[in-house]
Copies of this chain bind each other. A is one copy, B any other.
Amino acid sequence: MTAMERSTQAAADRSPNGLSLWGEGRRRVILERLQPEVDAGRYPIKRVPGEPVQVEVDAFADGHDVLTCLLRYRKEGSTTWQESPMTLVINDRWRGTFTPTEIGRYQYTVQAWVDHFKTWVHQLHRRVDANQEVSVDLLIGADLVADAAAHASGEAATRLYTYADALRAGDLTAAFAVSLADLMATYAPRRYATMYDRELVVVVDSPLARFSSWYEIFPRSASPEPGRHGTFRDVINRLPYIAELGFDILYLTPIHPIGQTFRKGKDNTPTAQPGEPGSPYAIGSAEGGHLDIHPELGTFEDFRELVRVAREQYGIEIALDNAFQCSPDHPYVREHPDWFRARPDGTIQYAENPPKKYQDIYPFDFESQDWQGLWYELKGYFDYWMAQGVRIFRVDNPHTKSFRFWEWCIGELKTKYPDAIFLSEAFTRPKVMYNLAKLGFTQSYTYFTWRTAKWELTQYMTELTQTEVKDYFRPNFWPNTHDILTPQFYPGHRGTFYARAALAATLAASWGLYGPAYELLEHMPVQGREEYRNNEKYEIRTWNLDDPRSIRGFIAQLNRIRKENVALQRNEGLRFHRVENNFTENDQIIAYSKHSPDLSNIVLVVISLDPVNIQSAWIELPLSDWGLNSPVQMHDLLSDQRYTWNDGFNYVELNPYAMPVHIFRLRRRVRDERGFEFYS
């Protein structure tokens, strides 16, 4: 076959649009396995301002040329990308970091290309080391530099041409000038660069999304006078108490009118007695629905005053409890019967989990013909209450409402209120809980309440902080809620209340309590159910906040310690420590540390999980891993006692009837200008 015949054949084989559809074929770099990336970029990751995004990607090209790899990012809407260098870690894995500074949405992606100048320098070093003749190589370099000069202007162009001339004149030292490398990094054209397939999104939330302490109350129980229905004014009067406890979010159970039909009585009896207040989760009555206030709580003016005073005087945000369900008396039932599922007998389908029936609750039908009207109306709920000053919502059972609705609703709301926070109260299967977080929920309730053994606490925290869920699922740890009183509290051990609160407050950056039940050690369950007896859902309670048994001081200490130690304000940096007796792990004592990124703040928490016996053990203190020398001072921030510990194992003893918790801040030996040594 002749050359002519061959090229004829090649031409014949060209499929009509084959290569023009293929784009630029000279892009030689492959970019893949970018992290963090949730479901191939289908969902964003989450951060708060100042929290870095560390990006990794596999980048490689054919052959042995040197690559340049850049992390690109921008605030959504900005037309220009900012760039941050990426460096090769190992095995074609590159890493770079950027830090969003503002609330909102950022995009990020990666760009890489074969860097002919860097390749040339790299190879020139090897040639010179091997004493090879390099005159032609210097000419090649001169061409690369002149090419960059043609893409520069002003002084930079002049300097690049000067370097090109030097190389052309055989000046080897010019090749290795750092300033030439800098100029080339800026001006050399990025020919045939590969962009990563996708631009990814990071949602940057309000700082409270990451580090927050929640306190739940039933506002109707806020009255100090037995028998009187609590009001928003009562809640205002309780703010100093809540501020003293150190919480920054006060969440109110639903504040809307309560239905009469099928109203539940005390302890969830099927029929309410006259005068019983009903469950605030059976929303809607002749007095209104989700956009109205239960009259006995007060007025819209009172509510706005509560939001204002809490925020301005106490630094406390008011969170509302969003429960998208209706009592049979809700105005929607009359105005929008098509938002509910009709039964063949003309009635409306109540909530049920057969054989259980919840006839006081009508769920919305997300397969309604008028699903769009329903979606707009439900989103309107949030707009409406945001207009009253609210920015934080605890969302009741989001997993029983359409997932796509939440994605749309939260997405739309965040464009207008980027600082809004939505806490998902979904206690359900793990993939559903994680998906709600992907869809947009800012924080999520967790399984913490049921994780009581050391092995399961360790395993669960490892899942939350070491796997990809860490980038989108922000756990919020609650020892109790108004719906959940777990069996470990039934005996009423004070030590259990200490231990569970301390675990929640130090394992997770966000935690919450249902109070005043918790600090007042409320612990009597309904027989056979993990639920409080005399539950505030069905009756109005009066709480004696000054009960001498209250652990309010301890709760306040926990929140103060959290505020003073940045190590506790994030979920990263968690490490579990060995707790040994005679080389055997002691499963009754859990020990873990958290540290700030710069290791200037290290907190070691040691908690006994045994409510009845004194426990002792030796705790691993890996000082050398933190770059510290023995000894260090272990300052117990609860008792204010100080101990001197050394690298290795150190002894602790915990009495559950006294205090089953140590929260140690590590203090290292420092020397001042006079030569005096202190622990700091």
Does A486 sit at the interface, judged by CB under 8 A? no
Closest to A192 in B: B367
Closest to A64 in B: B353
Does A492 sit at the interface, judged by CB under 8 A? no
Residue contact A401 to B62, C-beta cutoff 8 Å: yes
- B-contacting residues, A346-388, CB 8 Å: 347, 352-355, 366-368, 371-373, 375-377, 379-380, 383-384
Give the Cβ gap from A367 to chain B, nearest Cβ, in Å.
Answer: 5
Residue contact A30 to B435, C-beta cutoff 8 Å: yes
Chain A, residues 327-350, CB within 8 Å of chain B (1/0): the string is: 000010001000000011101000
A interface residues, tally (CB under 8 Å): 87
Residue contact B345 to A139, C-beta cutoff 8 Å: yes
Q: Report Cα–Cα, A335/B3, bound state, in Å.
A: 8
Residue from the list B39, B64, B331, B405 in contact with A33, Cβ < 8 A? B39
Does A672 sit at the interface, judged by CB under 8 A? no
Does A1 sit at the interface, judged by CB under 8 A? yes
Does A40 sit at the interface, judged by CB under 8 A? yes
Does A147 sit at the interface, judged by CB under 8 A? no
Q: Report Cα–Cα, A343/B141, bound state, in Å.
A: 11
Give the Cβ gap from A21 to chain B, nearest Cβ, in Å.
Answer: 10
Chain A, residues 124-157, CB within 8 Å of chain B (1/0): the string is: 1011011010001001101100000000000000
Does A197 sit at the interface, judged by CB under 8 A? yes
Binds B, one of A12-20, A100-108, A442-450, A626-634: A12-20
Residue contact B331 to A127, C-beta cutoff 8 Å: no
Q: Report Cα–Cα, A292/B197, bound state, in Å.
A: 40
Residue contact A403 to B1, C-beta cutoff 8 Å: no
Does A577 sit at the interface, judged by CB under 8 A? no
Closest to A383 in B: B13
Does A42 sit at the interface, judged by CB under 8 A? yes
Chain A, residues 4-38, CB within 8 Å of chain B (1/0): the string is: 00110111011100110010011110101100000
A114 to chain B: which residues have CB within 8 Å?
367
Give the Cβ gap from A287 to chain B, nearest Cβ, in Å.
Answer: 12
Residue contact A25 to B91, C-beta cutoff 8 Å: no
Q: Report Cα–Cα, A29/B143, bound state, in Å.
A: 59
Does A400 sit at the interface, judged by CB under 8 A? yes
Residue contact B408 to A126, C-beta cutoff 8 Å: no
Q: Report Cα–Cα, A366/B127, bound state, in Å.
A: 24
A30 to chain B: which residues have CB within 8 Å?
403, 435
Q: Report Cα–Cα, A431/B91, bound state, in Å.
A: 8
Does A638 sit at the interface, judged by CB under 8 A? no
Chain A, residues 402-436, CB within 8 Å of chain B (1/0): the string is: 11110010001000000000000000011110010
Assembly of this chain: how many copies? 2
| Max chain B C-beta neighbours (<10 A), residue from A27, A62, A372, A376 | A62
Closest to A407 in B: B22
Give the Cβ gap from A372 to chain B, nearest Cβ, in Å.
Answer: 5
A548 to chain B: which residues have CB within 8 Å?
none
A41 to chain B: which residues have CB within 8 Å?
40
Does A92 sit at the interface, judged by CB under 8 A? yes
A15 to chain B: which residues have CB within 8 Å?
412
A232 to chain B: which residues have CB within 8 Å?
none
A26 to chain B: which residues have CB within 8 Å?
366-368, 371, 402
Residue contact A384 to B9, C-beta cutoff 8 Å: yes
Does A58 sit at the interface, judged by CB under 8 A? yes
Q: Report Cα–Cα, A331/B3, bound state, in Å.
A: 8
A347 to chain B: which residues have CB within 8 Å?
136
Does A600 sit at the interface, judged by CB under 8 A? no
Give the Cβ gap from A670 to chain B, nearest Cβ, in Å.
Answer: 46
Q: Report Cα–Cα, A73/B561, bound state, in Å.
A: 58
Query: What are 18 contact pairs spanning A and B, CB under 8 A?
Result: A13-B383, A14-B376, A19-B372, A19-B375, A19-B376, A22-B404, A25-B371, A27-B404, A58-B431, A60-B429, A62-B399, A62-B401, A91-B431, A123-B354, A127-B354, A127-B355, A130-B354, A130-B355
Additional 20 contacts, C-beta under 8 A, given A62-B400, A136-B343, A192-B367? A3-B331, A6-B380, A9-B383, A10-B373, A10-B376, A10-B379, A11-B376, A25-B372, A25-B404, A26-B368, A27-B404, A32-B39, A40-B41, A62-B366, A62-B402, A92-B432, A126-B355, A132-B355, A136-B344, A142-B344
Q: Which A positions have Cβ atoms within 8 angstroms of B?
A: 1, 3, 6-7, 9-11, 13-15, 18-19, 22, 25-28, 30, 32-33, 39-42, 58, 60-64, 91-92, 114, 123-124, 126-127, 129-130, 132, 136, 139-140, 142-143, 191-192, 197, 291-292, 331, 335, 343-345, 347, 352-355, 366-368, 371-373, 375-377, 379-380, 383-384, 399-405, 408, 412, 429-432, 435
